[in-house]
Structure 1
């Protein structure tokens, strides 16, 4: 997997199995089953395993043995985030707790009345973060994303769980998502965007990341620079079996250039990757 193709991997059968076990036997059993499933995945998913091994050894400078352990942990925690996602949608979230570092920043953004742009990454569990934020700080969270999940999986998840607790703004070629983002901000809502995955053929910004040049998507930083709304970087990482640690950075006030926002974002992303290396969920050659 040398490049990201914009699609979410997974089988409908797998989703059905885990939804059944969460509903019938609970989270503990689902987590136990995950250990078997993710160990199988570690043995036979050669391309994502290789991509992670190279990332841990060449970018984070771990030993081969440490990198292998991180990869196995990564696959398991990624599976947990999917199970956690389903648990929240099924209303089985009573076990979960979280702490929020700098939560006041988001409250201050809300109180300004201009909405807010939250830039995040494929590190930790962004969807659970949206579920945790909804109703606590703002009634509506909008997540801008490529609407490229396998359609039958999406339909099954929506029918089985009632769907996500936040709005999705799909990125479209006609740029209608820009209007949706504007409308959300005008309504003083939060708009969350991933800014770490560059899709082949789209515009990008090349920056130093962990000592190497890497391409980051240009679009999220352009959006963050164009609207008169505060911008902050938000992450949600698992810090226990049933707990999450959320964090936010000081808001960028006023209009900044896309390149300036991108540099600040990448610096923060580096910190989070070093803090939670086992939760870096990009399974391709990030520096290709």
Structure 2
């Protein structure tokens, strides 16, 4: 990378940090409503003047809403970015306010608890939809330790537990550690604990190619391979923002990945990945503006 690109990247990171700082200050003085009030004009200007955002959101929109007009797609971009901005405001308020008054429900809690009772641990597969960071706080209420396999970044967009200095209700396993954190994750499952993994972004490692919104996508299958190796069940858990201060977490599916034979391994992992992406498609029928993968998901 050239020195110019490095300097430009550093400038962008500093500007992003400054932008988040303005929102944090607004919420410290004016509460959750102050952040939401600032959000409207910021999002409108961003969508109005940024060509890039229309391009990267458009990859999803043309598949979710095929055949719509140019004006419709502009409106859809505005809705998605405003929705995502609302998630960031909620995340900030959750961290800044010790008494944040969000109301949430974990639909399917008893099913997760039942699977935990089997003693083989549970792999929770989630996605970058809805208010997934708030979900991490809620799943900390489970009766065993919870571990989040994630890339932990303390930079501009802080996690809610960093903002208020709160003690996390879960442990972080860094995906950038040795073997992508899988050794630590397997050890947690063997102790009968819960590991949560984002299943909708592929960066490296094993994958399956499955259908999603009419085209082929490459999806990481590490969660299902881990579950099959450890004998742990998989639970697909998706978060959705349902109101200004309300959300829900829903167990949309659960299954047991198993290696019957070496020849069937690839097909089994592909079936698991396909099952996950089908759950995402159904979710997007209900919450079409809560998809937050801002890149060409179909060309990895």
Partner of 1:3: none
Shift of 1:34: 0.8
Q: Distance in 1 between matches of 2:106 and 2:162?
A: 28
Cα distance change, pair 221–229 in 1 and its aligned pair in 2 (3 A): closer
Deviations 1:59-88 (A, max 9, x none): 432623333222111111111111212222
Partner of 1:204: 207
Residue 26 (1) aligns with residue 31 (2): yes
- Show the counterpart of 2:242: 239
Give 1:116-265 correspondences, 5 Å limit: 116-135=122-141, 137-138=142-143, 140-147=145-152, 149=153, 151=155, 158=162, 160-162=164-166, 164-172=168-176, 174-175=178-179, 177-199=181-203, 202-253=205-256, 255=258, 257-265=268-276
Larger radius of gyration: 2
Normalized against structure 1, the TM-score is what? 0.86
Task: Give the unaligned 5+ runs of structure 2.
Answer: 1-12, 260-267
Query: Does the CA contact (< 8 Å) of 1:105 and 1:249 recur in 2?
Result: no
Alpha-carbon distance in structure 1 between the residues aligned to 2:218 and 2:125: 16
Indicate if the aligned counterparts of 1:60 and 1:210 stay in contact, CA closer than 8 A.
Answer: no
**Are residues 1:37 and 2:48 paired?**
no
Deviation of 1:152 after TM superposition, in Å, equals 6.7
Tell me which of the two structures has the higher relative contact order, counting C-alpha pairs closer than 8 angstroms and 6 or more residues apart: 1
Tell me: CA distance 1:140–1:33, structure 2 relative to 1, closer, same or farther (3 Å): farther
Q: Residue 102 of structure 1: CA displacement?
A: 2.3
2: CA distance, partners of 1:156 / 1:106: 24
Residue 244 of structure 1: CA displacement?
Answer: 0.6
Distance 1:69 1:92 in 2: 35
Tell me: CA distance 1:170–1:10, structure 2 relative to 1, closer, same or farther (3 Å).
farther
Indicate yes or no: 2:96 matched with 1:90. yes
> May I ask how many residue pairs the two structures share in their alignment?
278
Local SS of the residue matching 2:57: helix
CA RMSD of aligned residues (A): 2.6
What residue ranges of structure 1 are gaps of 5+ in the alignment? 1-7
Cα pair 1:60 1:274 within 8 Å, conserved: no
Q: Which moved more, 1:152-161 or 1:55-64?
A: 152-161
Q: After TM superposition, give the deviation of residue 173 of structure 1 in Å.
A: 5.7
Q: Structure 1's 10 and 229: CA in aligned 2 closer, same or farther, altered over 3 A?
A: farther
